Chain A
């Protein structure tokens, strides 16, 4: 109690001394979603899991063939108060990082999307280099610039919430995409269906293709990233209700050599592995090669939409599936920003379709002339200038 008073006194004294705080008002969180206590609980959330799995079968609204403009079960909000007719927009973007091929492909796609709209005169980007603290400063300094709209791709969920709230209070429309934040203050939050659906896509495939009692190895990149934790939580749920035997859950750090070693060890230890589940496909090729080098057939495997994996899949005739976390979602924030600035309605939560690549359609996604780490689901093939910037 005394501490509370002390805070009040200190705060009051500082206020008198002409001090100001960038801490957003408490009211902003009132409507906010779960407090950070929720992070301590397990990552599995039955309601959200059911919702995401249902989304997979839902028909999206929006133009055909342009999944980045489509939306699932949108609940539209009015944006008239942000309308700023006349063009000459300055879009500002606080990016978490460009430290992996997924973000690289996405960011290039976003830059090209900006080029398609002459009404955007400036596109200011601050890169947080995967540092939470830097991204907080970045968002603060964007709030001080004359941005027409602020787009944020948060580095982590819980820790960036205060900074996003602060940006919202400047009155500039805020758009969040990819990872979310624990506040409802952004005008729209754009994301594909989500981690549960991604994890379930792979796990259901293995449940179908691997015989009962078969041994499944689960490979994860690293713990603690909510998107990745959700993927595993969903897979774990499905494996739990199946007759598959999960013989190991290992972290690979996204390192191909480590992945290959781990898989080789498991082949030795278990005699055989009947299925490989991965929470991200970056090292799927290394995992498959471990089987090839051990002189055994590559079992049913879950990858992602990177070209190297898709090529291996087609060349070797693998039994595989590639759930995707589509990079075309990087186009949507720009489209959403322009809609908002024109006063058009946008969904409060803009859920994008999240397709998966199967044996039936994999050939459509193989692009021989693209780099091995290019993501097929970039939605960029029709953009002017393709394939230059992505190559």
Chain B
């Protein structure tokens, strides 16, 4: 199942105290890095006579983290099972359109709009999952293919933003409690739900098992196909939620809102930045949220410092590779311990 087969052979173990090792899981590193980033960022922004973490700054970071966070929660699940999903970006655009067009400005159609968008999202996830498990197509190609099909549909049917969400629904995108957007709280709630599902339920354990070693999982009676399909449906549902959230924020659906933001590759980047192994089987939602917050904080700091947008890309690329290289070192050091660590 895994799309990556490199570096499967352990190199000699690094000598390091077991206590230090246990403390420094990738998740811990992510949050330490986040704190360090906030401190460094505050100092740099402070040197310009501004404050990074004032009300506006916190609002900014959390708002930026909301949409990417939702997509990345779903992406975490598929990556944990050793798959990945390149179709989320187009799906976000599609669901934003479905929600906004169904609502068409009517309060009464709010629930049907949301449900229809989620239903379509689940359907796309099901197709992804089935193409991978039944047609046995590699996840990369299967979801790339589905992405292209969605793109064709969008290009053929839409010439720009369409639909209209009722005003009441826009509160989802704009309300906040103090500096904390309501939608960010909902995103964190979704993350908590995903965390509970992955770490406290049997189907959640199965996802780790399938991602860790699909053969072993199958031999020990895990319904591997069902697990993979479930992960893809959940991932697409998360993308659907993102589309609905963005519709509330934009006031209408927009076909390319997901691709313009590059949610496909960006969500994968956030997940691996959060310490989840791209090959699957290790990691989790907590780290992903940390990864998303790091990306959002970087963005906000760069904006405050008025950094050239092209320089941002360079930094993002370097941060991504450095982080994963760091985790790879730690993994080698702690190899042999439980895979569910």
Contact = CB atoms under 8 A, between A and B. Distances in A.
A26 B167 contact: yes
Contacts of B303: 126, 138, 141
Given A36-B164, A141-B56, A158 B251 contact: yes
Contacts of B56: 140-141, 144-145
Query: Which secondary structure dominates chain B's binding surface?
Result: helix
B289 to A, nearest CB: 18
Interface string A41-67: 001000000000000000000000000
A161 to B, nearest CB: 6
A115 to B, nearest CB: 16
Interface string B11-27: 00000000000000000
Contacts of B306: 124-126
A14 B183 CA distance: 13
A273 interface: no
Contacts of A223: 155, 158-160
A30 interface: no
Contacts of A137: 60, 63-64
B152 interface: no
Interface stretch (B116-124, B142-150, B170-178, B199-207): B170-178
Nearest to A165: B251
A11 interface: yes
Given A7-B168, A130-B260, A39 B252 contact: yes
Given A3-B110, A141-B56, A144-B56, A14 B252 contact: no
B246 interface: yes
B107 A4 contact: yes
Nearest to A138: B303
Given A127-B309, A144-B55, A159 B257 contact: yes
Interface string A114-139: 00000000001111011111101110
B252 A159 contact: yes
B162 A132 contact: no
A20 B59 CA distance: 12
B161 A36 contact: yes
B190 interface: no
A159 B57 CA distance: 23
A73 interface: no
B167 A17 contact: no
A268 B33 CA distance: 59
A95 to B, nearest CB: 9
B108 interface: yes
B171 A23 contact: yes
B90 interface: no
Given A21-B175, A140-B60, A159-B257, A133 B160 contact: no
Nearest to A10: B171
Interface residues of B, number: 51
Contact of B160 (A19, A129, A229): A229
A369 interface: no
Contact of B171 (A7, A18, A141, A158): A7
B309 A162 contact: no
Interface string A99-126: 0000000000000000000000000111
Given A36-B161, A137-B64, A223-B159, A131 B261 contact: yes
A155 to B, nearest CB: 8
A157 interface: yes
B130 interface: no
Contact of A159 (B60, B67, B250): B250
A229 B111 CA distance: 33
Nearest to A161: B251
Contact of A136 (B163, B168, B249): B249
Contacts of B257: 131-133, 159
B327 interface: no
A98 interface: yes
B254 interface: yes
Given A130-B260, A156-B160, A229-B159, A3 B108 contact: yes
Given A39-B252, A224-B158, A1 B176 contact: no
Q: Among B56, B110, B159, B162, which residue has the most Cβ atoms of chain A within 10 A?
A: B159
B167 A22 contact: no
A140 B164 CA distance: 21
A146 to B, nearest CB: 10
B178 A21 contact: no
Interface string A152-179: 0001111111100010000000000000
Given A133-B249, A156-B160, A229-B160, 18 more contacts: A8-B168, A17-B177, A19-B177, A21-B171, A21-B176, A22-B175, A23-B174, A35-B164, A39-B160, A39-B162, A39-B252, A40-B162, A126-B306, A132-B257, A133-B261, A138-B303, A156-B254, A225-B160
22 contacts: A3-B108, A3-B168, A18-B177, A20-B177, A21-B176, A23-B171, A36-B163, A37-B104, A39-B160, A39-B161, A98-B309, A132-B250, A136-B250, A138-B303, A144-B55, A158-B250, A158-B252, A159-B252, A162-B251, A223-B160, A224-B158, A224-B159
Interface of A: 1, 3-4, 7-8, 10-11, 14, 17-23, 26, 35-37, 39-40, 43, 97-98, 124-127, 129-134, 136-138, 140-141, 144-145, 155-162, 166, 223-226, 229
The 3 closest A-B pairs by CB, nearest first: A144-B56, A159-B250, A23-B174
Interface of B: 54-57, 59-60, 63-64, 67, 104-105, 107-108, 110-111, 155, 158-164, 167-171, 173-178, 182, 246, 249-252, 254-257, 260-261, 299, 303, 306, 309, 312
